Amino acid sequence: MGSLLPLSLLLLLAAAYPGGGRARRRRGARAQGPGGSSPAPSETSAPFWVRISPQFKAVQPGGSVWLNCSTSCPLPENSSLSTLLQRGQTLSGPGWVSYQLLDVRAWSSEVRCFVTCAGETRGAKAKITAYKRPQSVILEPPLVVGNEYTLRCHVTHVFPVGFLVVTLRRGGRVIYSENLKRYTGSDLANVTLTYTLPARPRDLWKPVTCHARLSLDGLVVRSSSAPITPTVLAWRPAPKALASTSIAAFVGILLVVGAAYLRNRLLVQNQ
């Protein structure tokens, strides 16, 4: 009996702490990696961004522009620029590269910047627009023929003409508008708009203006003429035949009145 007591105590202790040995073995396994060393943390490539600034730029035809390409990649492997425009200087620093573009003459050009980081390539794009604000917008005084008058507006040295809209306003109200998108030339041009409409007395003294508008994918450039206010004589002059008839009738009336006056004077003197 005495020899069985130590064995039963060992069995009771094992029942009170089940899995104790396995827990110690698991802790030991976690403390050591393969070969007895701690495991290294897993390496994952962090996401990075690429930005280009400015994203939209408008310049005069033949002008130049700088574009800055930046990235959050700490160690970029490569950076490049894709464009059909003429390249100039290139400057760079930590996380950025600046590119110069020369002699911009196309009305719209797309430019792309690319950066490669940890084997992955990402990019950003910008748009460059070349334009020329009208040198002048001139509205001629109305030319009246019969019961109609003609308005003529000149828009000088403008580019690109295909994105030009010319509008005539009378008293703040649009009376005519024309879109010139049918013109596809790539040079500076002069545009003349001619419009004829009836001459009505109710439209007298209302100022008339000519407006030129360039709409360039988000950029709107506006120019206007000085206002012209038609007067009564300029608006609806009398035809020459009618004017001659009126003058002759007026002279006839004066002669009749004069003759009657002289006759009365003579009668008074004879009495």
pLDDT single digits (tens) 248-270:
666 667 666 667 666 676 666 66
pLDDT digits (tens, 9 = 90+) for 99-116: 999 999 888 899 999 999
Q: Confirm if 165 and 94 have CB atoms less than 8 A apart.
A: no
More confident residue, 42 or 181: 181
List the strands of the sheet with 56-59, edge to edge: 56-59, 120-130, 109-117, 78-82
Pairing label, strands 136-139, 148-158: antiparallel
Q: Among residues 108, 130, 152, which one ends one of the domains? A: 130
Q: Among residues 71, 95, 130, which one ends one of the domains? A: 130
Q: Among residues 87, 109, 130, which one ends one of the domains? A: 130
Q: What is the pTM of this model?
A: 0.56
Distance of alpha carbon 247 from alpha carbon 265, whole angstroms:
27
Q: What domain range is 75 assigned to? A: 50-130
* Statement to judge: residues 55 and 108 lie in one domain: yes
Q: Confirm if 211 and 169 have CB atoms less than 8 A apart.
A: yes
Enclosing H/E stretch for 20: helix 20-31
User: How many folded domains does the chain comprise?
Assistant: 2
Q: Is the dihedral of CA 194, 195, 201, 207 positive or negative?
A: negative
CATH at residue 56 = 2.60.40.10
For residue 253, being part of any structural domain is answered with no
pLDDT at 89: 95
Beta bridge partners of 192: 154
